[in-house]
Amino acid sequence: MAITIPASAVKTFEKVMGALGGEDYSYYLFDVKNANENPKARKVVEMVVYVPQAKRVTAAANIQASLDGDGIIAKVLEKETELDVYLIDDLKKYIRILVKPNGSKGSGGGSAATAIQESAQCVYAAMRYYCGDKEIYTEEDLKCGMDHVDVGGTKLEDIMGLPKEWKEGSMKGANEIFEKVGGSGYIFFRGDRLLDDGSIKNAFKRVKGQTNLSSEDKWNPADIWMAKKSEIASIKKHLDGENTIDCLNNALLQRFNDGSLIGISLKKIEGNAKMDAKNNQPASVRKANEKAKFVKYDLTYLSSMDVYLYYGPGTFEKFQARNFGGSTKGDWKLELKGKSAAQGKIQGTVLIELLKNAGFANISQFNIPTWAESAPGTGAAQKKITNEIYDLLKKHNADKFDPSKKAETDSKADIAIQDKSWRYSKLAGLRFLDWLKHTCKDKDMAMKEIYLYASSQSDKSSVYYKLQ
């Protein structure tokens, strides 16, 4: 029997659904177990999210971080694999999320769900090209689409089992691809051995050492590819022959411009689909035209471990600086936020190297704290960290922070008992903010470099379409 989400919880539940997917995770294997319409009930919805056993704590932390970045109050509970998400319009009520191991829900968890979603976009795009423009696609149309894709081990029944919203999003995406690219004779693929996990992946491996890019995704974040069937042999030969990053990028740009090979990065589609070309201009031109700059920051006292850095005036034109390692490790990153999904991350140590290579020699004055030194407590070492956090919160006028001498003892006592992840994350964010505001000689250029890298638009990144 289908479970109806109570009206009071719908807006918050939609935010939860958005938080189940990010730049480097996807947790769309889930069940809604209970919903309580009783107006006196505090727990209005209970849902289970299934992930691999080893990813449970990280998954809960990722969901919390995403919701926090969207202005939703979410609290990870003591077990670290459960969290309560408080309703937007009634903070006395909440949605309980239980993060459980895959078990009977299948292996692979989030990665398996991502593969199905990306494969679905391939199939729907193929249907649009080979079956015509339709509002409703039948099972026969889906079978037709499957004849023109190579999506590894993803099966037709996997795609047919996707929720309605993902099918509708895939249909919108297919129409947008057809409108922007046009042409004919394409095969759509992801995770195939010949090109995606073959020549493309191998080409980047050969030249990665010539870049400061941390991963293939920062070079080209395409999730799916489309290629002219008649050109596949020549495309493979072309890519296999490139041995420098600049020549490889030029080869992909040539293929992009003649329409024989096109990579597409996918973001969850809410509302109308939009697809824009990225990195289709020389790197120097891209950098000159990029308008990202340091605009402002958001900083709170105790309620959040995050620091937000805005590169533009819009609500979502910002980076969320925080620990992404949950309660078990330090993994400080800057995440590029978007309206419906995260747009990319940059790891802290990569950030330092990026800015150093861009000419910011004084970035060496910024140090990410160690996980060990961030532990709570009142010993000498812990007090040193507590005092530094206090001083920087005061220096940068954190919201809800009382700077008076009278409140100092209580404030430091509050900071001293915060958990390890909070202290690590807060100090790293504060130190970077302090460097950016008071040591960095060109704040706007620094933000531009960070934006271009996180959004996979650095001078060594290659051309692709972004569909969102």
pLDDT (tens digit per residue) in 6-51: 999 999 999 999 999 887 788 988 888 889 888 889 999 999 999 8
CB 306 within 8 A of CB 425: yes
Q: What is the pLDDT of residue 78?
A: 81
Q: Express the helix, strand and coil content of the chain in percent, nearest 5 each.
A: 45, 20, 35
Residues 42-63 have a mean pLDDT of 88
Asked, for residue 2, whether it belongs to a domain, the answer is no
Say if residue 321 is in the same domain as residue 440. Answer: yes
Tokens (6 digits) for 84: 């309560």
Say if residue 89 is in the same domain as residue 219. Answer: no
The model's confidence at residue 306, banded by pLDDT at 50, 70 and 90, is very high
Q: Which has the closest alpha carbon to 376: 270, 302, 278, 309?
A: 302
Asked, for residue 192, whether it belongs to a domain, the answer is yes
CB 308 within 8 A of CB 297: yes
Say if residue 128 is in the same domain as residue 243. Answer: yes
User: Lowest-pLDDT range, 50-59, 235-244, 335-344?
Assistant: 335-344
Asked, for residue 290, whether it belongs to a domain, the answer is no
Say if residue 376 is in the same domain as residue 238. Answer: no
Say if residue 89 is in the same domain as residue 148. Answer: no
Tokens 């990410």 map to which residue?
Answer: 368
Mean of the per-residue pLDDT values of the chain: 91
Residues 252-290 have pLDDT tens digits of 999 999 999 999 999 888 789 999 999 998 777 877 878
Q: What is the pLDDT of residue 143?
A: 95
Say if residue 24 is in the same domain as residue 132. Answer: no
CA distance 396 to 124: 50
Asked, for residue 243, whether it belongs to a domain, the answer is yes
Say if residue 135 is in the same domain as residue 155. Answer: yes
- What lies within 8 Å, CB to CB, of 270 at 6+ separation is 18, 169, 339, 340
Picking from 57, 88, 105, the residue at the C-terminal end of a domain is 105
The model's confidence at residue 2, banded by pLDDT at 50, 70 and 90, is low
Higher pLDDT, 160 or 82: 82
Picking from 105, 135, 169, the residue at the C-terminal end of a domain is 105
Does residue 466 have a pLDDT over 90?
Answer: yes
Range of the domain at 228: 111-266
Say if residue 377 is in the same domain as residue 424. Answer: yes
Say if residue 367 is in the same domain as residue 226. Answer: no
Asked, for residue 262, whether it belongs to a domain, the answer is yes
Per the confidence metrics, is the pTM higher than 0.75? no
CB 416 within 8 A of CB 382: yes
Say if residue 247 is in the same domain as residue 347. Answer: no
Picking from 70, 85, 105, the residue at the C-terminal end of a domain is 105
Please name the amino acid found at residue 126.
Answer: A
- What lies within 8 Å, CB to CB, of 139 at 6+ separation is 160
Residues 109-145 have pLDDT tens digits of 456 778 888 999 999 999 999 998 888 889 999 999 9
Asked, for residue 178, whether it belongs to a domain, the answer is yes
Tokens (6 digits) for 53: 């056993």
Please name the amino acid found at residue 80.
Answer: E
Say if residue 120 is in the same domain as residue 241. Answer: yes
119: burial class by Cβ within 10 Å (0-12, 13-18, 19+)?
buried
Number of folded domains that form the chain:
3
Asked, for residue 398, whether it belongs to a domain, the answer is yes
Q: What's 42's domain CATH number?
A: 3.30.460.10
Say if residue 160 is in the same domain as residue 94. Answer: no
Does residue 435 have a pLDDT over 90?
Answer: yes
Asked, for residue 70, whether it belongs to a domain, the answer is yes
